Amino acid sequence: GAAARAADLWKVYGSGEAQVIALRGVSVELERGRFTAIMGPSGSGKSTLMHCMAGLDSATRGQLAIGDTALNGLGDAGLTRLRREKVGFIFQQFNLLPTLTAEENILLPLAIAGRKADPQWFQTVIDTVGLGDRLGHRPNQLSGGQQQRVACARALVARPEVIFADEPTGNLDSRSGAEILGFLRRSVTEHGQTIVMVTHDANAASYADRVIFLADGQIVDELTEPTADAVL
Ligand code: ADP
Ligand code: ADP
């Protein structure tokens, strides 16, 4: 089965004159071990789609699942547990805890879930993102690119069913951004990780296996094996 699914997903914010229909019947399956990019104009529903699929936001209508688990009917506690056990997040703003070291940040989601990191896998992740001599540093002692490496390691170390990345290169210079995209690409190709990424950047999307284009709350186009030229 798919790593994550949405079927006829509708999301309506507000009511009356303030009502906004953010998603209009979106259906998408994220196959295991693939890297999917979501593109589209500002306001087209990209973040809403990610947040609903990740169990951060509730659907107005439609079915959602992560792996074998349906999100419909899970309460807040059930959704929180599902995110902890099955989902990884990478944000534009890194979202690291400032008082923790890089290593403590990386291990925090596992610690919260009451799980221990497999030492060999932890080492593989650290080697992949190239953080070896920075593990004892706090976020304010790290560059933006290094902070995002920590966030990537934090997402990868738990081997989640799916990683949701929201503009992961949006705050990085092009060189650091390319490094991050390279780690994400490798984690898919070499380790079978499933990743979905929202991006404005055609070059970033070209690292994906598949690009979905949203406009006005609907999927309007899709590309497989994208190149930056094709995405533009
Ligand atoms: P994108 O990520 O593509 O920029 P969003 O998913 O953020 O799009 O937004 C889709 C639409 O939903 C926009 O019209 C936006 O203004 C609206 N929207 C998003 N979040 C909220 C919210 N919490 N309350 C009301 N409207 C929202
Ligand atoms: P924005 O897209 O507005 O900059 P973020 O991408 O930082 O916001 O966060 C998007 C949503 O995810 C917010 O509702 C936030 O509360 C939630 N969130 C942020 N960090 C985490 C996390 N580590 N685990 C679960 N939810 C989170």
Q: Which structure tokens are listed for 167?
A: 């503009």
| H or E element that contains 26 | strand 20-30
Q: Which two tokens stand for residue 40?
A: 């589209």
> Cβ(95) to ligand 2 under 6 A?
yes
**Is residue 47 within 6 Å of ligand 1 at its C-beta?**
yes
How many C-beta atoms lie closer than 10 Å to residue 86's C-beta? 21
Find the DSSP H helices in the chain.
46-53, 76-86, 102-112, 119-129, 144-157, 174-191, 202-205, 228-231
Contacts of 141 (CB under 8 A, 6+ apart): none
* Per-residue confidence in pLDDT tens, the chain, 232 aa: 899 999 999 999 999 999 999 999 999 999 999 999 999 999 999 999 999 999 999 999 999 999 999 999 899 999 999 999 999 999 999 999 999 999 999 999 999 888 899 999 999 999 989 888 899 999 999 999 999 999 999 999 999 999 999 999 999 999 999 999 999 999 999 999 999 999 999 999 999 999 999 999 999 999 998 877 777 7
Ligand 2 pocket check for 171: Cβ under 6 Å: no
DSSP assignment letter at 55 = T
Evaluated on CA atoms 67, 208, 147, 119, the torsion sign reads positive
What predicted TM-score, i.e. pTM, was given to this entire model? 0.88
Q: Kindly state if the Cβ of 113 falls inside 6 Å of ligand 2.
A: no
Q: Whose atoms come closest to the Cα of 56: which ligand? A: 2
Instruction: For residues 17 and 122, give the distance between their C-alpha atoms in angstroms, rounded to a whole number.
Output: 51
For ligand 1, mutation pick of 9, 10, 13 (most atoms within 8 Å of CB) = 13
The answer, yes or no, to whether ipTM is higher than 0.85 is: no
Q: Is residue 105 within 8 Å of residue 139, measured between CB atoms?
A: yes
**Residue 210, helix vs strand vs coil:** strand
Distance CA 191, CA 96 (A): 24
The Cα 232–Cα 206 span in angstroms is 10
